[in-house]
Amino acid sequence: MTNLDLSKPTSELAPSGTPLLEVDDLHVEFRTRGGVVNAVNGVSYSLAAGETLAILGESGSGKSVSAQAIMGILETPPAVINGGGIWFQGKDMLEMSAEDQRKIRGPGISMIFQDALSSLNPVYSVGFQIGEMFRAHRGLSKKEARKRAIELMDRVRIPAAARRVDDYPHQFSGGMRQRVMIAMAIALDPRILIADEPTTALDVTVQAQVMDLLKDLQGETGMGLILITHDLGVVNEVADNVAVMYAGEIVERGTVDDVFSKPSHPYTEGLMGSVPQVEAKGGRLRPIAGQPPNLARIPSGCPFHPRCARRRLGADAAPGRECATDVPPLRLVVPGREAACHYSEEVLGVPAE
């Protein structure tokens, strides 16, 4: 059994800075008829109460798969967690029974999924779906669960909540459906909220409203927030720390200010260069050359080297740092900054080891 106390407010769980969540050397693969797809390859990070960690990367980089592994909702088979550990409040979730993991989902860790319309059940009212959290986890009656659903809809600023509680998902706009998803995710006041592309397909104004809502809720409860996205603007506005993923690995990690002001990994640099700059009138975007790798056939050495303008091959490379053959570990480059690049020191202007 887990012996986890989920009754206390997040702010009372542990001293400031103590991790709510620790992910260590996580590996996830998909065993398919076409071969093994290495979706997550040694991901490690931690999350403290009140912290917002943004996980960046292109589609297919392993962001969502790592989050689903934390939630315990990967479809097995074909997915297999074949290495590493996930600790929630010091308890190893991979050693828990399915029943104990289910008890953590909701009051412990909750998740907002990418597409609200496909994630909500079209044949049940939104009030019924929100109230199900209370019926399943708290044993409330249908009447009491409906009342709590209205309160939550008010909390996430859905207008006329009492009148709309019996409406169905298709009767809401995209932004309002996302608010319904947020209401479901926060129903049990989770310690950790994972938001997987929470602003996808929303216009800029609604994106800002959704992110403001998440920050307000975080301020009220002290929950840790993992924001999975490829939207650099959103990350810059709300995150404390950032982890950049490529080919199932974290290739750079640090504070948002440090990473955004001077990225040390060429992939991070490429992401920053592909964003339009208001002050660069008439300039051209600098897209990253090539395509993300096939995760069933990840390149040898540094997985980014086929697309990297700074790669060094053969005689041009330092001993043990040949980009096509030597795998760069995620290592501390300067205080507070880690990068998986053989030549990050040169970018940051610090002496190499």
Which among 222, 265, 226, 274 is positioned nearest to 246, based on CA atoms? Answer: 265
Q: Which pLDDT score, from 0 to 100, does residue 240 have?
A: 95
pTM, two decimals, is 0.89
Per residue in 166-212, pLDDT (tens digit) is 999 999 998 899 899 999 999 999 999 999 988 777 788 888 888 88
CA angle, 313 then 248 then 28, to 5°:
135
Is pLDDT at 43 greater than 70 in this prediction?
Answer: yes
Percent pLDDT > 90 in the chain is: 64
Per residue in 68-96, pLDDT (tens digit) is 999 999 998 899 999 999 999 999 999 99
Q: pLDDT band at residue 350, thresholds of 50, 70 and 90? A: confident
- Please compute the mean of the pLDDT values over residues 308-330 and round it to a whole number: 93
Per residue in 258-292, pLDDT (tens digit) is 999 999 999 999 998 877 666 666 667 778 888 99
Q: Which pLDDT score, from 0 to 100, does residue 16 have?
A: 47
HEC string of the chain? Answer: CCCCCCCCCHHHCCCCCCEEEEEEEEEEEEEECCEEEEEEEEEEEEEECCCEEEEECCCCCCHHHHHHHHHCCCCCCCEEEEEEEEEECCEEHHHCCHHHHHHHECCCEEEECCCHHHHCCCCCCHHHHHHHHHHHHHCCCHHHHHHHHHHHHHHCCCCCHHHHCCCCHHHCCHHHHHHHHHHHHHCCCCCEEEEECCCCCCCHHHHHHHHHHHHHHHHHHCCEEEEEECCHHHHHHHCCEEEEEECCEEEEEEEHHHHHHCCCCHHHHHHHHCCCCCCCCCCCCCCCCCCCCCCCCCCCCCCCHHHCCCCCCHHHCCCCCCCCCCCCCCEEEECCEEECCCCHHHHHCCCCC
